[in-house]
Structure 1
Amino acid sequence: MDNVTIGKFKGFTTFDLKIIGIVLMFIDHIHQMFVPMGVPNWLDWFGRPVATLFFFVSVIGFSHTRSKEKYMLRLYLGMVLMTLGSFFLQKIVGYEEVQLMNNIFRDLLVGTLMMYGIDKISEGRASKKIGKILFGIAIILFPIVSSGILLSLMSNPSTIMVAVWGANFIPALLFAENSVMVLLIPLMYLAKNQRWLQCLMIALVAVLFFFQGSTQWMMIFAVIPIMLFNGEKGRGMKNFFYVFYPLHIWILYLISAYMFTH
């Protein structure tokens, strides 16, 4: 990692946090894709802090990006291409033992929309423009309201397919991979200048999962690299994750399918 030197540790950069998340995610997805081959369940533990790490990194990225609109557009395109790519890959391969439900782009987009809404409310308050405040509130509520609409459509047999396909293109909170846990993104954004408060939020959510008996409580280990974050960007890898994320999932899926059928 670029900021770790022998004998002297200078903390983690944004680049380092991304690499930690990618490595842990890769191990987790090995578990997901090779469950039919009997891989041990403890491999899944490595992935529990991953979403939290990426949520934190998205707060940092959104806070410093030059164009927040372009940032959201990249996530939206990533979400749609990931969804369609996984759908057609499963149709072509026909390997039903593993379902490709992964799409962290949706989680990050929902969280980013809410951060964007928070910004608009702040701008409206500063300029005393009620229109901007209302626009910001609408943006924040959109992923929540769209979730309710899609769930309502899914309860009706005549509109269920419309809702299923609509969910592929609409950033809805309850259809995100991590569901309501995505709310950590706007909450951490509100506390972006108070690292201790961000980590406290993570710890409280982890405690809730612990009492539910879910291994997701292990997300609390994300606090360690987050506390060691030094505020520096590190090496640039702007588009690497957008390519690596879907590609490694699809490759692991194809390897799993081949191993299972041969």
Structure 2
Amino acid sequence: MRKPVVSFSGGTLKMLAIITMLIDHCGASIVGPLRHKLPDGSQLGDFCQIIYPHMRNIGRLAFPIFCFLLVEGFLHTRNVKKYAFRMFLFALISELPFDYAFSNQLIRNAHQNVYFTLLIGLLVMMGMSVFEYRQSITRFGNYFNLLMQIAIAAGGLWLAAFLHTDYNYKGIFLIIVLYSLRLDRKLQAIFGAITISWEAVAPLAFIPIWFYNGERGRQLKYFFYWFYPVHLLILGFLRHVILPCVLHLN
């Protein structure tokens, strides 16, 4: 069989998600506030007004890719408990940088970072898989296993909504859809795109996902984990320290 002309490894998809996320966060943390602080009619102000929505739209590609890679990571990890612990640890590490980058408060309980969303999605998959592969010789037992999977999924949706995690319960629902359709890439792409279609540009993320070749590719594991809190900390510093100084000098 001929190899496809275009294919992406997991490492390539992860880098694509990181780049689009960075563009989005630069827009939300720097360009967004800047466009409100610059005087009307200034060239830089007009430029910020134009570029801001495009930066946010580009960023919509990141989350579906991260969700897809989370499902792949769950299916192929050697130790899912360590995987979940790392996710929990970096969710805690990232919370203060997340609040610092996107608000005027150092601690803001109204919105939690995306690591919490991915962690809840991972826990949901762990719970569903227990009952998914549990064998039963009775019809009642099969119904019970199905009901337990539904209950675990519903619990994950509720928890994300309760904690106000990034992408909320909608993010968990996307993870559940991608996990449930993991055996058919075409259905994954179609229904994943439908699930995230409430964000206009986000379904386009399933184009590179469609070309995923099943290979891990280059894995800079701890770079990917640390990039999220570190870049948020830098953006927060730029927003709250550097940007006011520049505006004051002008």
Range of TM-score over shorter length = 0.7 to 0.9
Over the matched positions of the two proteins, sequence identity in percent amounts to: 28
Q: Which residue of 1 aligns with 2:13?
A: 17
- Superposition deviation, residue 127 in structure 1: 8.5
Shift of 1:180: 2.5
Against the structure 1 CA distance between its residues 235 and 81, is the aligned structure 2 distance closer, same or farther, given a 3 Å change threshold? same
Q: Residues 12, 136 of structure 1: CA spacing in aligned structure 2 closer, same or farther, 3 A cutoff?
A: same
Q: In the alignment, which residue of structure 1 is the partner of 2:170?
A: 181
The 3 A distance-change label for structure 1 pair 135 and 238 is: farther
- Say if 2:23 is the partner of 1:27: yes
Scaled by the length of structure 1, what TM-score is found? Answer: 0.73
2:201 maps to 218
Is the CA contact 1:11–1:230 (under 8 Å) kept in the aligned structure 2? Answer: yes
Give the 5 Å matches for 1:115-194: 115-125=125-135, 133=145, 139-146=152-159, 150=162, 167=163, 175-182=164-171, 183-194=173-184
Q: 1:257 aligns with which of 222, 233, 240?
A: 240
Report deviation, 1:70: 1.3
Q: Which runs of 5+ in 2 are unaligned?
A: 36-47, 246-250
Match of 2:81 in 1: 69
Give the whole-Å Cα distance in 2 for the aligned partners of 1:83 and 1:46.
23
Q: Could you tell me whether the CA contact under 8 Å between 1:12 and 1:225 is conserved in 2?
A: yes
Number of the residue aligned with 1:105: 115
SS at match of 1:78: helix
CA offset at residue 71 of structure 1? 1.1
d(CA) in 2 for partners of 1:252, 1:84? 12
CA root-mean-square deviation: 2.9
In the aligned structure 1, how far is the partner of 2:159 from the partner of 2:118? Answer: 16
In the TM superposition, residue 102 of structure 1 has moved relative to its aligned partner by 6.1
- Residue 112 of structure 1 deviates from its aligned partner by 0.9
Partner of 2:231: 248
Mapped partners of 1:147, 1:24: distance in 2: 23
Matched, 1:36 2:33: yes
